[in-house]
Every structure is written in structure tokens, then in C-alpha cells.
């Protein structure tokens, strides 16, 4: 790796002489932790003793003589990104690759980010906000059969911070493109893929040792090898684009976090390994007649926990990526309750309709419906939005969101009712001068009652307001506050046992110059589920100062 680093440097110095291309980027975050036990920002190493934590990624890429080479140097110093309640320190080369195209054959060695179809049977990707980096460390070959068809095959082991998991993952994927004749306007993009995973002996021995403690009725013979296969196609014709994917996984060792083991006639609910085959059906239909944009999505998931080893939990060791069936909400309160994708049992659909009768006015409505396969309600969301633009002077966006959220299932909180929220919101932007603007956001979350607890559900009602001022090309300032107007069952209590209405303020200063952006923020943030790309985890409250710097070159 040092050789690769040295080579990159050397090659970069020779950039002008040889016509190569050198590029890179840097992303860093620094967190200064200020203990606040009232909101729960306490009892982790950073608040108690370390006071500082941060992480960074330096990406370097070089292309010349038909080669693409790259590496990424990663830093984690008392970082809470890997484990939100822990501290992680390490640094080193987190990723490297060498790519070469030899006529129709492409060779890619090192860390590979890729996917098959929509990612249901294989997706290696990076999500830094959740420190997911499940690149495949190995070799990939792709070959162009002709102008429209290609095949790729890969083998490797999944990345685990600066190491790799031991199980071997391998796969093959054919993809093509078929277009109708010159008089027709349809095209197909079919594909087929198979991905296999072989467990290593250590993972299997660990699994067998656990199974040996199970009652006889829960025993099964675990598999070293499991196979996931998929068939998919996109049909495009005129205003219509229709994607369909069907995936099947052979019998595999999986963990059910809601499994039931009966010992001495006493049923115990918790982690339980089981073996089953699984499937995912997914479809997405998009229609784009003039002024309209309509998207319908549906998905059925059964026993599709597809991981590098069955012992991996939460967002670790994921081979699969199951498309989320909810819209990506961006406003603070509308994004507070997120429906994490369920990999063992889920049936869901989503409808998104956009209508823009003029350039000034647009409407958007989105409905998400998620149940498990037994019909248990997991999530409902109705989101509406109206946007109006007045010349280039100002714009006003507003709407309302309705949610029902199965907190018991998504956050493992027993005996809680479906969280019900109604959130009206407004977003007003006014531009002044050549580059100046002021923006205001206001939201209110009205939460349902927890009759059993005699209080509002979860944290109760919230109000949120934000003012953002952009001054020229360089500076942006924001100030916001999230206030627990009517505290709920889980809101913090004072010494008298009374629920407290707490402010969660945030102040940001952003400075942008060319490709470089600095951000300095003072943040108090309530605990919540944070999702990125359909993968979620519970994040504890935060109190402190954040600094980030990003650039590319």
C-alpha cells in the first residue's frame, strides 16, 4: 500500500509530463462534546472524559496509461460514528483500487463498490453518516459481450473497518440493453445475477456452538453456502419506465431479533438463529406525462436477511440493500420518525404524485404503506406539499404530513402504541441582491396520546423554527430551535418528576470558497432514529460543537 501511495505521489508530480489526471477530496468532522445529562448527552466516553472525537477521509485518485488507481486514507479519533455510544480510534488506508480496461475486459482489484440490479442480492456501498462501508475487497472482472450486453464476475471479502470479514462472497451478473427498431420507442434493460456466500469455519463453529444450546425443536443444520439470485428488467417506453426485480435466496442461516425460544415452558423473545429460504419482489413504475410525475413502488420481503455472517447485527455485514418504501424527508420534524427497512418480513407500497400546472406552482403528494407479512401495521405516511415561486424573488412551500409509526417494532420499545403525528410545515425563501437570501422554516409536530401512560406519545409535541441567511457567495448563517412544547412519556423529568419542556437550539456558520466548505455548529439534538438510504440506527442525544471541512481538488 505504501508503494501505491508513493506511486500516486510520483505520478501526480508527473501529471503535466504524462497527461495523467490527479484528483481527490477531503472530508473531516470534528465534534467537541459538552455533557448535558438532562437531555441524555452523557455516560459515553466522549462526554465523560474524552471531550473530542472526529473522523476524516482523504481520497486520492490518479488516471494514466489506461490505469485508474486510487486510495483513501481514513482517520477515526475517539469517533462516535461507528458506535454512537462508544469510542473508536484507528487510522490507515481504508480503501484502495487499481482498475484497467484491456479492450473488452475490465479488471478491478482492491476495494470494490458495485451492485447487482437494485442491490437486493448485492450492493457494496459507503454511507459515512452511519459509517457503513461494506466494500468488497477482492477482484472484479467485467467483459463487454457486445455493445449492449456485458457480464461481470467478482469475488472477495466484505470490508470491516481496516480488516475484512472472513466469509467469501462471489457473484456473476449479466446485464443488457435491448431497443426496439427505429419505428418503435421501447427499450428493455434486463439483467440476471447470482451471488453466493461461503461461511468461514470460525463463523460456522460459533453458530454451531450457539445451536447446541437450543432446544431440540429449534435446531437446524446450518449451511456453509447460500445463494441469492435475481432477475430484473427496466421497460422504458415514452412516458413510462417500469422496473421489476424478483430475487430468491436459498436456505440461509439468519438471526431473528424477535425469535421465540421456549425453555422450561417459558417462552423467551429475543435473538434466535433460524434457517429458511427467502425472497424479495420489488417493482417501481414511473409515469411522466406533461406536468405530471407519478411513481408507484411496491415491495414484498420474506426472510431476506442477507449478511456476510449470521452473527452480524444492525447495520453490520449487509450484503443486501433493500429499497426503502418511504420518501426521504428533509425537514427536521418530518424526518424525526423513519421506517427502517425490515429484512425478514415486510410488504409495502408507495405512491408519489407530482403536478406542476405552471412554472410557478407545483403540488406533491406521497403515501407510504408498510405492514409486516402478518398484517401488523408498521408505518403509514401521507405527505403533501404545495410550492409557489414568485419570479425569482421569493418562494413559499408548505404542506402537512401525517404519520403512524410502529415504535415497538422499529425501536424495540415494548408496550408503546403506534406513534401518531400530524406535522404542518412552511418554508419561505426571499432573495435579495445578487446572491443574498433569507429563508424561514416552521414546523409543528402534534403527537397522539399514550392512554396507558397517561401522557403524550414518545416525546410529545414539538415546534421547530429555523432562520437561514445567505450573504453573498461565501457565508451562510442559520439559527434554529426545536422545542418540546408538550412533553411526552419519554421526555426528561426534573427533580420533582415533572416532564420538562426543553429547547434544542442549533447555530451554524457555513463558509464556502470554491470547492471548499467549512461549517461550525453549536448543536443540541434530541435522540432519534437516523436513517441514510433506508438503513437506520438509534442515535443518542448530542450536545456540543461540530466542525467540518470538505474540499475537492
Partner 1 sequence: MKTIKLHHLLASCFALLIVLVSGCEEVPPVLNPGGSASSEVTPVDQQQRQVLIEEFTGVRCVNCPAGSEAIEALLDQHGERLVAVSIHAGFFATPFDESNEDLSNAQGANIMSLLNEPLGFPTAVVNRRQFAGEESRQLGQGQWAGYIAEELAPEPSVRIDIQNTYNANSRDLTIEVDMYAVEDVNAEDVRLTVYLTESNVVDMQQTPEGRDANYTHKHVFRKALTAVAGEQISEAFTTGAVISRSFDYVLPDNFKDTECEIVAFVHRGGETLDVLQAHRAKVVE
Q: Taking CB under 8 A as the criterion, which residues in 66-105 touch partner 1? A: 82-83, 85-88
Pick the piece of the chain touching partner 1 (CB under 8 A) from 108-116, 216-224, 326-334, 382-390: 216-224
C-alpha distances (whole Å) from 201 to each of 206, 223, 251, 271, 310 are: 8, 11, 18, 21, 13
Instruction: Assess contact for 521 and 66: CB atoms under 8 A.
Output: no
Residue 270 interacts with partner 1 (CB under 8 A): yes or no: yes
Pick the piece of the chain touching partner 1 (CB under 8 A) from 6-14, 64-72, 293-301, 311-319: 311-319
Strands in 161-302 per DSSP E? 163-164, 168-176, 178-179, 186-188, 191-198, 225-237, 240-263, 266-287, 292-302
- Interface residues for partner 1 in 156-185 (CB under 8 A)? 160-161, 163, 165-166, 170-172, 174, 176, 178-181
- Closest approach of partner 1 to the CB of residue 224, in Å: 5
End-to-end CA distance of the chain: 22
Q: What is the DSSP letter of 391?
A: T
| Nearest residue to 149 (alpha-carbon basis) of 118, 190, 111 | 190
- Interface residues for partner 1 in 404-433 (CB under 8 A)? 412-415
Residue 194 vs 235, nearer CB to partner 1: 194
- Closest approach of partner 1 to the CB of residue 390, in Å: 49
Residue 38 interacts with partner 1 (CB under 8 A): yes or no: no
Residue 494 interacts with partner 1 (CB under 8 A): yes or no: no
Pick the piece of the chain touching partner 1 (CB under 8 A) from 189-197, 275-283, 427-435, 481-489: 189-197
- Binding to partner 1 by CB under 8 A, coded x per residue (else -) over 106-145, reads ---------------------------------------x
Residue 1 vs 202, nearer CB to partner 1: 202
| Cβ neighbour number for residue 324 with a 10 Å cutoff | 22
Q: Which residues lie closer than 8 Å to 20 by C-beta, 6 or more apart? A: 11, 12, 14, 62, 63, 64, 65
Residue 15 interacts with partner 1 (CB under 8 A): yes or no: no
Residue 82 vs 132, nearer CB to partner 1: 82
| Whole-number Å distance between alpha carbons of 524 and 546 | 11
Pick the piece of the chain touching partner 1 (CB under 8 A) from 153-161, 337-345, 380-388, 435-443: 153-161
- Closest approach of partner 1 to the CB of residue 541, in Å: 11
The number of residues that bind partner 1 (CB under 8 A) is 77
Residue 316 vs 377, nearer CB to partner 1: 316
- C-alpha 402: how far from chain center: 22
Q: What is the DSSP letter of 322?
A: P
Residue 533 interacts with partner 1 (CB under 8 A): yes or no: no
Q: What is the DSSP string of 228-248?
A: EEEEEEEEEETTEEEEEEEEE
Q: What are phi and psi of 11, to 5 degrees?
A: -65, -35
Residue 43 vs 552, nearer CB to partner 1: 43
Judging by beta carbons within 10 Å of its beta carbon (0-12, 13-18, 19+), is residue 17 exposed, middle or buried? exposed
Residue 495 interacts with partner 1 (CB under 8 A): yes or no: no
Pick the piece of the chain touching partner 1 (CB under 8 A) from 25-33, 121-129, 254-262, 379-387: 254-262
| Cβ neighbour number for residue 159 with a 10 Å cutoff | 23
| Whole-number Å distance between alpha carbons of 153 and 141 | 5
- Closest approach of partner 1 to the CB of residue 148, in Å: 5
Pick the piece of the chain touching partner 1 (CB under 8 A) from 215-223, 236-244, 274-282, 509-517: 215-223
Amino acid at each position: 500500500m505504501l508503494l501505491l501511495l508513493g506511486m500516486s505521489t510520483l505520478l501526480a508530480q508527473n501529471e503535466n509530463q504524462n497527461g495523467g489526471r490527479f484528483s481527490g477530496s477531503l472530508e473531516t468532522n470534528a465534534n467537541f462534546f459538552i455533557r448535558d445529562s438532562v437531555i441524555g448527552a452523557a455516560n459515553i466516553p466522549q462526554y465523560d472524559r474524552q471531550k473530542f472525537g472526529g473522523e476524516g477521509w482523504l481520497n486520492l485518485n490518479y488516471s494514466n496509461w489506461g490505469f485508474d488507481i486510487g486510495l483513501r486514507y481514513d482517520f477515526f479519533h475517539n469517533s462516535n460514528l461507528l458506535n454512537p455510544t462508544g469510542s473508536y480510534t484507528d487510522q490507515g488506508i481504508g480503501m484502495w483500487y487499481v482498475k484497467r480496461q484491456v479492450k473488452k475486459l475490465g479488471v478491478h482489484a482492491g476495494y470494490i463498490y458495485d451492485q447487482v440490479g437494485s442491490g437486493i442480492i448485492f450492493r457494496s456501498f459507503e454511507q459515512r453518516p452511519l459509517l457503513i462501508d461494506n466494500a468488497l475487497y477482492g477482484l472484479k472482472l467485467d467483459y463487454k459481450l457486445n455493445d449492449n450486453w456485458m457480464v461481470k464476475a467478482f469475488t472477495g471479502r466484505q470490508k470491516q473497518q481496516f480488516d475484512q470479514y472472513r466469509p467469501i462472497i462471489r457473484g456473476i451478473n449479466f446485464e443488457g440493453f435491448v431497443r426496439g427498431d427505429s419505428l418503435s420507442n421501447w427499450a428493455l434493460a434486463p439483467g440476471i445475477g447470482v451471488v453466493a456466500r461461503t461461511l468461514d469455519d470460525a463463523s460456522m463453529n460459533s453458530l454451531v456452538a450457539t445451536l447446541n444450546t437450543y432446544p431440540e425443536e429449534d435446531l437446524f443444520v446450518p449451511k456453509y453456502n447460500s445463494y441469492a439470485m435475481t432477475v430484473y428488467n427496466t421497460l422504458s417506453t415514452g412516458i413510462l419506465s417500469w422496473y421489476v426485480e424478483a430475487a430468491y435466496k436459498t436456505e440461509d442461516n439468519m438471526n431473528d431479533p424477535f425469535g421465540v425460544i421456549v425453555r422450561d415452558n417459558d417462552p423467551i423473545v429475543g435473538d434466535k438463529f433460524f434457517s429458511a429460504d427467502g425472497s424479495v419482489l420489488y417493482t417501481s413504475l414511473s409515469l411522466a406525462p406533461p406536468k405530471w410525475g407519478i411513481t408507484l413502488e411496491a415491495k414484498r420481503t420474506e426472510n431476506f436477511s442477507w449478511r456476510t455472517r449470521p452473527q452480524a447485527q444492525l447495520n453490520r455485514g449487509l450484503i443486501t440493500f433493500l429499497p426503502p418504501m418511504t420518501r426521504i424527508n428533509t425537514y427536521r420534524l418530518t424526518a424525526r420518525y423513519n421506517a427502517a427497512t425490515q429484512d425478514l418480513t415486510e410488504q409495502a407500497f408507495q405512491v408519489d404524485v407530482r403536478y406542476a400546472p405552471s412554472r410557478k406552482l407545483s403540488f406533491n403528494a406521497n403515501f407510504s404503506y408498510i405492514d409486516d407479512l402478518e398484517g401488523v401495521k408498521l408505518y403509514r405516511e401521507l405527505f403533501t406539499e404545495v410550492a409557489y415561486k414568485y419570479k425569482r424573488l421569493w418562494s413559499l412551500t408548505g404542506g402537512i404530513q401525517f404519520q403512524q409509526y410502529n415504535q415497538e417494532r422499529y425501536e424495540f420499545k415494548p408496550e408503546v402504541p403506534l406513534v401518531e403525528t400530524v406535522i404542518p410545515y412552511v418554508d419561505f425563501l426571499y432573495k435579495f441582491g445578487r446572491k443574498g437570501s433569507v429563508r424561514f422554516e416552521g414546523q409543528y409536530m402534534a403527537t397522539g396520546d399514550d392512554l396507558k401512560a397517561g401522557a403524550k406519545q414518545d416525546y410529545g409535541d414539538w415546534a421547530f423554527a429555523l432562520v437561514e441567511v445567505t450573504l453573498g457567495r461565501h457565508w451562510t448563517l442559520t439559527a434554529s430551535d426545536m422545542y418540546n412544547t408538550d412533553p411526552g412519556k419519554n421526555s426528561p423529568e426534573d427533580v420533582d418528576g415533572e416532564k420538562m419542556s426543553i429547547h434544542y437550539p442549533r447555530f451554524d456558520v457555513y463558509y464556502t470558497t470554491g470547492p471548499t466548505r467549512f461549517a461550525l455548529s453549536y448543536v443540541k439534538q434530541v435522540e432519534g432514529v437516523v436513517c441514510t438510504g433506508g438503513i437506520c440506527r438509534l442515535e443518542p442525544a448530542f450536545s456540543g460543537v461540530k466542525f467540518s471541512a470538505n474540499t475537492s481538488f
